[in-house]
A and B are shown apart, each in its own frame.
Chain A
């Protein structure tokens, strides 16, 4: 899976869970500061991403995933 494909997949999840416009989702964007995803919605995003990409994202890893790019890199390395 390419980084772009992972980004597109994350954008779909972010739209479903938090109502984020898919056009706003890019690797440089911060989940909390730019996309307005709060901590409970972030939990939903993580669980949905695990399912979609077939990866495990441990709770202690989530705090390091500040931006969409961080998440793409983590998922890319796991899959």
Chain B
């Protein structure tokens, strides 16, 4: 049985750089930072007082009553999914819901709802806890809401693999279409945990940048002055579609999702494998699965979070698995780290890089690590033909996901 091709026909996002894909992509190409100082009162006592907050508040898009029963991560998943759905030309279509699945995950889930309702419990007692608490904090909430919104009846799935979630959710979408279980999968990730507890937790791990006085310069992958990641929030959603199905309805195709590679380290709960062994295997598997020549993969949107250890391990892995020819980009230098949404947002950047023939810049790379032996489009976007490109995403727990996108 021949394996069906899978293509990307719709994109949606709400990010620290813009309320949709077009504004986000324009800001990326211009090298703008979405990181700013946290001016909320609660931030004053924290060691980290910067983050990449949404450019457009959900309240500007969804009505007040609707937002009462949505965690912020659910609201932005719905917003991004609505955009992707319309972008794919599927709004108002008669697509059979039994051929539509959803694969949308989050790294941390409805933590802000949990904490806010716990405050209410402590202050006012159990009767005042919102009856919407459970559907707001359940990890499958974003996927379930997107499924409800779009009428998906072929299964709603909620991947959770920390910072690899968005990419792994897309990989699951690929599997679902290849298996024949659905013709269309709405796939991606969402995250909204800019709140003192998650910040304090990451901060206690010494994982976050404390460059509080220079927010826009804080996320600096591969730079010798990097001191940790910058927390971001947002959602990225892709419409994946069986290629023949897309062709039959005359859909515009952005790119082919050519292949995916998934591995796990079985090494440490938070430290990446010392030689990047799992990452190398994931990249190699993705390339093999994609059936694309290595030399055609000329661009990589790297995981590169701006942490001292992880950034350079990935460089070693790319060298081994792909070679020394790709031009790299670390778009987290502009968006911050969207955790469970990162792999989805960066897949969108990878797809648009292929479409437009441009590698987005890596900002703040002023003093590159001596070990940065691969070419990076530092500071400025670089125009070049991109037949195929790779997106990496790694997560606490030892999750490694690599995705290969190619011209349709």
Contact = CB atoms under 8 A, between A and B. Distances in A.
Contact of A40 (B64, B127, B128, B131): B131
A43 B131 CA distance: 7
A40 B65 contact: no
A19 B66 CA distance: 9
Interface in B209-235: none
Nearest to B132: A40
A44 B64 contact: no
Interface string B103-136: 0000000000000000000000001101110000
Contact of A17 (B68, B127, B128): B68
A18 B131 contact: no
A17 B132 CA distance: 12
Interface in B16-75: 63-66, 68-69
Interface in A16-73: 17-19, 40-41, 43-44, 47
A64 B69 CA distance: 25
Contacts of B69: 40
Contacts of B64: 19
Contacts of B132: 40, 44
Contacts of A41: 131
B89 to A, nearest CB: 30
Interface in B271-312: none
A43 B135 CA distance: 15
B65 A18 contact: yes
Contacts, number: 17
Contacts of A47: 127-128
A50 to B, nearest CB: 8
Interface in B141-190: none
Nearest to A20: B65
B130 A44 contact: yes
B130 A19 contact: no
A47 B131 CA distance: 10
A57 to B, nearest CB: 11
A9 B66 CA distance: 22
17 contacts: A17-B65, A17-B68, A18-B65, A19-B63, A19-B64, A19-B65, A19-B66, A40-B69, A40-B131, A40-B132, A41-B131, A43-B131, A44-B130, A44-B131, A44-B132, A47-B127, A47-B128
Given A19-B66, A44-B130, A47-B127, 11 more contacts: A17-B65, A17-B68, A18-B65, A19-B63, A19-B64, A19-B65, A40-B69, A43-B131, A44-B131, A44-B132, A47-B128
